Amino acid sequence: MKIIYPGSFDPITYGHLDIIERISKKFNKVYVAILNNKNKNSLFTIEERKKIILDSCKHLNNVEVVSFSGLLADFAKELDCNLIARGLREVSDYEKEVQMALMNKELYSDLETLFLVSNYKYSFLSSSLVKEIISFGGDIDKFVSPMAVQMMKEKYSE
């Protein structure tokens, strides 16, 4: 069985990786799907985000990194996959996630969303916070991979 784990991944954090590792044990195939959102001001290009994800997931042989623009429901149909994985960090994620799951089901009735409770170690983590910390010279080694740290340092020194 296949599953899609969608997100912005700008960049992927150890919180995302924890979810990917857990679903890769339960499913034959995991699509990590990067949203190409032109409205969001991203630090990394899709290619750069893909490079960091591939490096972080190199120990997982059933993970494929893909990108999409437009509706997730349409992309799921394209992949012939009717299951989405989402991590729930805190209560505040719940409302938004339930709304998205219901809307996705409205758009594609066979599409289900599987929620995984995020690892408590990363329940406070987000890509924006990591970017904010490094932009002020803080240490982010505990939150993202060495490749992501290096590439973020390069971006912020430009």
Binding residues for ligand COA, per CB under 6 A? 6-8, 10, 13, 15-16, 19, 35, 71-73, 87, 89, 100, 103-104, 118, 122, 125-128
**Whether 157 is catalytic:** no
Catalytic residue among 16, 50, 86, 131: 16
Catalytic residue among 24, 42, 118, 127: 127
**Whether 16 is catalytic:** yes
HEC profile for the chain? CEEEEEECCCCCCHHHHHHHHHHHHHCCEEEEEEECCCCCCCCCCHHHHHHHHHHHCCCCCCEEEEEECCCHHHHHHHHCCCEEEEEECCHHHHHHHHHHHHHHHHHCCCCEEEEEECCHHHCCCCHHHHHHHHHCCCCCCCCCCHHHHHHHHHHHHC
- Residue 135 CB, shortest distance to ligand COA, in Å, is 13
Catalytic residue among 49, 50, 86, 89: 89
- C-beta of 21 vs 55, nearer to ligand COA: 21
**Whether 59 is catalytic:** no
**Whether 51 is catalytic:** no
Catalogue the active-site residues: 16, 40, 89, 127
